[in-house]
Amino acid sequence: MAYENIQYEKRDGIAYLTFQRPKVLNALNRKTVEELADALRDAREDDSVRVLILTGAGEKSFVAGADINELAQQTPVDGKEFSLFGQAVFRQLETLGKPSIAAINGYALGGGCELALACSIRIASRTARLGQPEVKLGIIPGYGGSQRLARLCGKGVAHELILTGEAISAEEALRIGLVNHVVEPADLMPTAEAIAKKIMANAPLAVKFAMEAIEHGLEMPQEEGLFLEATLFGLCCATEDMREGTRAFLEKRPAQFRGR
Of 19, 82, 209, 257, the one binding ligand CO8 (CB under 6 A) is 82
Q: Are 93 and 111 in contact (CB under 8 A)?
A: no
**C-alpha distances out from residue 105 to 16, 154, 182, Å:** 14, 24, 10
Residue 144 as a binder of ligand CO8 (CB under 6 A): the answer is: no
Which segment (44-52, 118-126, 132-140, 209-217) binds ligand CO8 by CB under 6 A?
132-140
Q: What is the DSSP string of 185-246?
A: GGGHHHHHHHHHHHHHTS-HHHHHHHHHHHHHHTTS-HHHHHHHHHHHHHHHTTSHHHHHHH
Of 37, 49, 68, 228, the one binding ligand CO8 (CB under 6 A) is 68
Instruction: Choose between 169 and 202: whose C-beta lies nearer to ligand CO8.
Output: 169
Residue 65 as a binder of ligand CO8 (CB under 6 A): the answer is: yes
Measured from the Cβ of residue 247, the count of other Cβ atoms closer than 10 Å reads 11
Q: Which residues contact 6 (CB under 8 A, 6 or more apart)?
A: 17, 18, 19, 20, 32, 35, 36, 39
Residue 88 as a binder of ligand CO8 (CB under 6 A): the answer is: no
What residue type is assigned to position 255 of the chain?
Answer: A
134 is catalytic: yes
- Tell me how far apart the alpha carbons of residues 12 and 130 are, in angstroms, rounded to a whole number: 30
- Tell me how far apart the alpha carbons of residues 229 and 29 are, in angstroms, rounded to a whole number: 38
E strand or H helix that includes residue 159: helix 155-164
Question: What's the closest the beta carbon of residue 158 comes to ligand CO8, in angstroms?
Answer: 15
Instruction: Choose between 19 and 257: whose C-beta lies nearer to ligand CO8.
Output: 19
Of 18, 56, 86, 176, the one binding ligand CO8 (CB under 6 A) is 86
Residue 67 as a binder of ligand CO8 (CB under 6 A): the answer is: yes
**What are residue 151's DSSP bridge partners?**
none
Question: What's the closest the beta carbon of residue 23 comes to ligand CO8, in angstroms?
Answer: 6
Residue 90 as a binder of ligand CO8 (CB under 6 A): the answer is: no
Catalytic residue among 9, 81, 114, 244: 114
E strand or H helix that includes residue 40: helix 30-45
Using CB under 6 A as the binding criterion, the count of chain residues that bind ligand CO8 stands at 24
Question: What's the closest the beta carbon of residue 93 comes to ligand CO8, in angstroms?
Answer: 15
Radius of gyration of the chain (CA): 19
Catalytic residue among 35, 134, 193, 229: 134
Q: Which residues contact 222 (CB under 8 A, 6 or more apart)?
A: none
Residue 110 as a binder of ligand CO8 (CB under 6 A): the answer is: yes
Residue 109 as a binder of ligand CO8 (CB under 6 A): the answer is: yes
Question: What's the closest the beta carbon of residue 166 comes to ligand CO8, in angstroms?
Answer: 11
Residues within window 9-48 making contact with ligand CO8, judged by CB under 6 A: 24-25, 27
* Active site residues per annotation: 114, 134
Give contact residues for ligand CO8 (rule: CB under 6 A).
24-25, 27, 64-69, 71, 79, 82-83, 86, 107, 109-111, 133-134, 137, 141-143
